[in-house]
Amino acid sequence: MSVRHGFYAGWHGAEYEASPDGDLVRLYLARPADGFRRVSPDRYVQVVPLSDVDHLQYVTTHCTWHGEPFVVLGEHDGWLRVEYSGGDAPVAERLGQDLGLELFDRGVYQGWASRHEVEDVREDIV
């Protein structure tokens, strides 16, 4: 399972990373394709009307690590970038100390967890 976090849109039978913008949706690919314009190395975009997409949804990946809830923000070489999502400040501070999480913002702790240490990886689609 790949980690997805953000907007995704269905268009012409495929699913794309997406970014809604009013009545338009920007669709993204990591490789060249017909109709997509290169905006950076490994990033291509096509803007389509919102009315042309099959679906537009927000996907968040969640997991449990050391018995606590986390949001998975990304993945790299078998490691997951996670953020504590339990909403309990004392627990977040304890996890920060115990697991070596970084204080990312006030009350927001993030870190890297081995994919083998996390449980119950699942998507929430809105």
Query: For residue range 27-37, what is the model confidence (pLDDT) as tens digits?
Result: 999 999 999 99
Residue 15, in any domain of the structure: yes
Query: CB neighbours (10 Å) of residue 13?
Result: 6
Structure tokens at 76: 């790299």
Domain coverage including residue 44: 6-56
- Could you give the number of structural domains in the chain? 2
Residue 1, in any domain of the structure: no
Segment (H or E) for 122: strand 119-125
Same domain, yes or no, for 52 and 63? no
Residues 44-69 have pLDDT tens digits of 999 999 999 999 999 999 999 999 99
Same domain, yes or no, for 41 and 67? no
Predicted confidence at residue 1, as pLDDT, reads: 55
Residue 88, in any domain of the structure: yes
Query: Is the pTM of the predicted complex or chain greater than 0.85?
Result: no
| CA atoms within a 13 Å half-sphere pointing along the CA-CB vector of 27 | 23
